[in-house]
Amino acid sequence: MKINLALMFGGKSVEHEISIISALQAAQNLDREKYNVIPIYITKSGEMYCGEHIGDIEAYKDIKGLLAKSYPVTMARHGGRVEILRLEHKLFKNPLVSYVDVAFPIVHGTNVEDGTAAGYLNLLGVPYVGCDILSAAIGMDKYAMKSVFKENGIPVLDCRIYHSDEFDDNSNLVILDIEKNFGYPVIVKPVNLGSSVGISVADSKSKLEDSLSDAFRYSKRVLVERAITNLTEINCSVLGDDRSAEASVCERPVSGDEILSYSDKYLDGSKSSKGMASTKRIIPADISAENTHYIQELAVKAFKTLGCNGVVRIDFMIDNDSNTIYLNEINTIPGSLSFYLWEPKGVPYKELLDRMIALALKRERERDSVTYAFDTNVLSGIHLGGVKGAKGTKA
């Protein structure tokens, strides 16, 4: 019997379009002998849609037309199973679209990848592929992520965090603090975004002010750290769970700028729909065997430290002047699911997806063995008119 798999993508995120590409790319590689795939598109306003054309990448050139041909749905738990239900249906017609055995959220960015999607699916009680709420939330928040990694002996650059109200009240004071702690150049980043959105390098006061203004458009909190001037960026993927994980080959993305930009990642001029798979890169990375091994070890350690699950991509920086390696960030749902880093290790995309789904089902079996509720009814013995509070009366 086939597994009913809800493939979820889109969402209220600046990385909305990249999610569509990543998800529909995965859909083409899912084994249809094993899975009955139900694509669920989440609009930028948070509505979910199903329909005949939702899985067609070409249809997204006209979103309004696509939605007119599709129908809104929701997910609900009923009778011990999770269902996809049609919201607009004719009287006496069964609204059931499909049961869900496992959900596969391929979503990027704030409001989805940050633990929001995982929390929604966890509440429904449906097995889902990828990181759980905590690891996803920490992985999305760059400041929290750095704090956890630093505490666990994983090398990261020192940073400071600034709030939009501080900048609005006295931008000069914020700039003076940055100059005092870091000097120039510095990198300015929104705390909770990916795909290099809102990230820039500032090497002067005027550029720093512009960089901060731009970053605060995307987040109320902005992270600043020193910029490594002689830099090599290296990425490595990890597959597994918190007890057993392995690293992929490493890659060196080729950037046309100081940092790998959104355009470098997704808008290379080829008009392709390959997402991160179309980025210019060198695989395996042209670095020493010693650095490769060290990065792979750090990647696995970081993965296990956050308790990740499925596939992630971890981005590193090498300071070429000192040959020092720093972990830059973790992507808990990487673009294109980093399949291109696993194929050189003999793991084709179809097998990678199978292994991710198997990890999700394994985690659900483990959760089923844990007691989450007591079979008791405290309220049955309480006279509600006299309740003094949830903690009862004092002794």
315 is in an annotated binding site: yes
- Beta carbons of 313 and 264 less than 8 angstroms apart: no
Helix (H) / strand (E) containing 319? strand 310-319
- Beta carbons of 141 and 114 less than 8 angstroms apart: yes
Closest-CA residue to 53 (of 76, 108, 61, 88): 61
What's the first-to-final CA gap in the chain, in angstroms?
58
From the CA atom positions of the chain, what is the Rg in Å? 23
135, 248, 278, 336: the active-site residue: 336
Give the contacts of 352 (CB within 8 A, at least 6 positions apart): 239, 311, 337, 339, 342
Burial class for 235, CB neighbours closer than 10 Å (0-12, 13-18, 19+) = buried
DSSP string, 232-243: EEEEEEEEE-SS
Please list the alpha-helical segments (H only) found in 161-288: 164-169, 171-181, 205-215, 262-266
13, 19, 22, 195: the active-site residue: 195
**Spatial distance between the Cα atoms of 44 and 20, rounded to a whole number of angstroms:** 12
Give the contacts of 92 (CB within 8 A, at least 6 positions apart): none
What letter represents residue 27's amino acid?
Answer: A
15, 83, 225, 233: the active-site residue: 15
**Paired sense of beta strands 81-86 and 96-100, if any:** antiparallel
- Beta carbons of 29 and 353 less than 8 angstroms apart: yes
Number of Cα atoms under 13 Å in the Cβ half of residue 295: 33
Catalytic site residue 15? yes
Give the contacts of 215 (CB within 8 A, at least 6 positions apart): 188, 189, 190, 198, 199, 200, 222
Residues making up the annotated binding site for Mg(2+) are: 315, 329, 331
* Catalytic annotation, residues: 15, 195, 336
Residues making up the annotated binding site are: 315, 329, 331
